[in-house]
Every structure is written in structure tokens, then in C-alpha cells.
Amino acid sequence: MMRTRPLKVALLGCGVVGSEVTRIMTTHADDLAARIGAPVELAGIAVRRPDKVREGVPAHLVTTDATALVKRGDIDVVIEVIGGIEPARTLITTAFEHGASVVSANKALVAADGAALHAAAETNGADLYYEAAVAGAIPLVRPLRESLAGDKVNRVLGIVNGTTNFILDKMDSTGAGYSEALDEATALGYAEADPTADVEGFDAAAKAAILAGIAFHTRVTIDDVHREGLTEVTAADIASAKRMGCTVKLLAICERAADGASVTARVHPAMIPLTHPLASVREAYNAVFVEAEAAGQLMFYGPGAGGAPTASAVLGDLVAVCRNKLAGATGPGESAYTRLPVSPMGAVVTRYHISLDVADKPGVLAQVATIFAEHGVSIDTVRQSGKDGEASLVIVTHRAADAALSSTVGALRELDTVRGVASIMRVEGE
């Protein structure tokens, strides 16, 4: 039997995502009520600019006083889609203190301060859900947190930023350089006017922190994630990848160590074989591979950003949180019982693709090979080309620790016959 008294919802932010949330709540009100077991009522919308025209948004619900809205004693659920650290953090904790559960799309806040937010939710008997914080519409947080709760996840590998995937895809398919591909992404609306958060890997790093924490039941913040952007990726790197039967993707990689005693979390460009499913992820789409002991390999694929896809994830969380409210219960909170340390990037073991500019004369390859051997890095393949006294060496290693590779490159730079290190890229997915 459906409860007639509605559950009241406060919405913080009414931009691209907030407007879509409002539209769906309005047009699908009957379906949402049937799925929840009670009507849901949008009781207030907090915005910074009340005079901005927002089609389909009831003007009488709009307010600039977000604090007063979340302090109302009749609010059951607060949806936060304003982003950033403050005032979002204060508004969320205030909502908990006044009896409301929270649905958030705020990856930056969850990645930086998730433990404190979960603690505040638990203290006040409230829910904190944030499916929309990672990979837009793709169900990923809940499968990791609930569906795989009885399994042991060992690795999460994926493309979690649509802007960077679009740029790299265009570089691969058209031969364009980074700047040209970025300009196209900006013109099409995939890249922000200031694309730093995307192209320097900050967005992906926040998502990696969230995924690693959930997957490995330990606390991982964005400060624990090694981060490299794609601004240094060149058309030559893309061409080298093609010659190897690979493509280049900006990957978020979260791994449990082989001995199970630590985890790593990193974001960086990497070459992956064309045979790997992630290689076929085109345009601005996202895809994530999860490797678990019992379940094996699982792949989650779909649109990773945008108003409607993100709103879909928000509304899914809203339904779950409202059901919990009606049942007088809460859903799963933070699970950090393993307390595993996060190892530094130097401990990460993977393959590498290194391009060197060298003098074109006898003995250079032997010198370079000796340096690799002295630092314990085994060479898999070498390709050499050159003319007019200059040459290029392209070396692919066997698996080696990042620290060992770094010391190898440092020693190579000291050789008189090495003119420069043109590029270094990791090789993943094998």
C-alpha cells in the first residue's frame, strides 16, 4: 500500500545536471512514486543566480539560501549537484545533522573527504549515496559496494573521463596533434573552457580514489593517487602505439598487490593492445574493467558524463535512499576494514615503451642495453632507425618496477650518445 504523505527532497544546484533531475522528477513523478512506495516532492531548489532562466524549473521553489533549505526539519533527502569542496561539504553535513539523507554527484568532495562524510552520515542515521560521482550513468559504485560485496576485487582498470577519451580517440583516428584534438573537443562541448581538471587527470584521479576505496575496502583519497595527464602525449606516441598494435588511453588503474598487503591507485596515459575491449571505447564514452576472484572479468560501459546520464544515476540513488527511509533503515556505509596502505608509484610493476634520440654510430645500442641491465630492467623488443648521424631507439621492456625504470632513464640521460628521451609510456592491458 502506497504511503500518501510525500517524501520531501531538496536540490542543491540547478545547472545541467540539476535541471535534468528536476525534469525527470516532474515528468516521471507517478513512476517514481510507484517504485518507491510513496510520492516524492521537490520542496526547494538552492541556486546562486535566482534570475537565470531555467526552463521547466518552478520559480516558487528557487532560493539562494541553501543553508536554510537543508536545515528545514521536513526535508527527507538532499540532492547535492553543485560540486566543489565548499560550501558542499558544510551543506551536506548540515543536512545529516537535520535528519536528511544525501545523494551527491560530487567526486571531488567524496575523494577528498569521504571518510568524514560517511562518519557524519552514520552518526546521524542517514544515507550517503554517490553513484553519479563516478562514470555518469554507468552503474559502478553500487555493483562494487553491493553486488560484489561477497567477492574479492583485485583490479579496477578503466576509462573514466570522456573528454580525454575523445581527445585521444581523435588523435588516433585522424592523426591530429593534442592541441587540434582539444580544440575540436572544446568546439563540440566535450571540454570545458578551462580543461585542466580533465586533461591533467584530476577528474580521473578523484574517481580512481573512490573506486579503489570501495573495491578494496580501505581508505584512499585523491592525494594517494598518482596522476599524469595527457598534455605530453604526441602524434608520434600515437603512431608508435599503432606500430605495436596498440592505442593510447588515459587509464585509471586500481590494483591490489600480489601479496594482498597493499594497494595502488594511479591515472596516466598508457598503450593498450587493440585486442583489449577498452581499445574500442570511442568518442566520449567511458568503460571500466573489474577483475574479481570469483566473478572474473566484468566490463561496465556507457556515457560517462552529461546532464541526462548523470541525472539517471542521481535518480537511481534517490529511489534507493527513499526506500530506505520508508523502511526505517540505511544502506551500506563506508567499508574500510582492511586498512591497506597505498603503495607509492615507484612500487608499481608494468611494461614500458621508451623512445630515445641517440647518436647513429656503432656501440650505442650496447651502451643502452648495459644501462637497462645494470638497473634490473629487462628489454623485450628494440627497434632502431636513423640517418645523417642521428638515430631513434624504441625499446619495450618486460615488466619492471616504476622506480627501477626511473633510475634507468636517469642513467640514460648521462650517456653522451643519448641526445634525449623523446617519450616514456606504460603498456597496460596485457
Q: How many Å apart are CA 244 and CA 241, to the nearest integer?
A: 5
Exposed, middle or buried by CB within 10 Å (0-12, 13-18, 19+), for 316?
A: middle
Q: How many Å apart are CA 306 and CA 78, to the nearest integer?
A: 21
- From 8, 107, 170, 207, active-site residue: 207
Q: How many Å apart are CA 92 and CA 102, to the nearest integer?
A: 7
Q: Taking the CB of residue 59, how many other CB atoms lie within 10 A of it?
A: 9
Q: How many Å apart are CA 358 and CA 25, to the nearest integer?
A: 63
Helix H segments across 98-199? Answer: 107-123, 141-142, 162-174, 178-187, 196-199
Pick from 419, 300, 412, 301: nearest CA to 358: 419
The grid coordinates of residue 216 equal 578494496
Question: What phi and psi values does residue 103 have, to the nearest 5 degrees?
Answer: -115, 125
Q: Which residues pair with 270 in a beta bridge?
A: 249, 426
Taken in order 20, 21, 26, 28, the sign of the CA dihedral is: positive
**Grid cell 566543489 in the structure block, residue:** 84
162-174 helix and 235-243 helix, angle to the nearest 10 degrees: 70
Query: 71 catalytic, yes or no?
Result: no
| Residues 188, 85, 346: CA angle, nearest 5 degrees | 80
Are the C-beta atoms of residues 297 and 289 closer than 8 Å to each other? yes
| Residues 29, 81, 321: CA angle, nearest 5 degrees | 50
Are the C-beta atoms of residues 354 and 394 closer than 8 Å to each other? yes
The grid coordinates of residue 12 equal 542543491
Q: How many Å apart are CA 281 and CA 250, to the nearest integer?
A: 12
Find out whether the peptide bond into 39 is cis, omega within 30 degrees of 0.
no
Name the DSSP letter for residue 20: H
Residues marked active site are found at 207
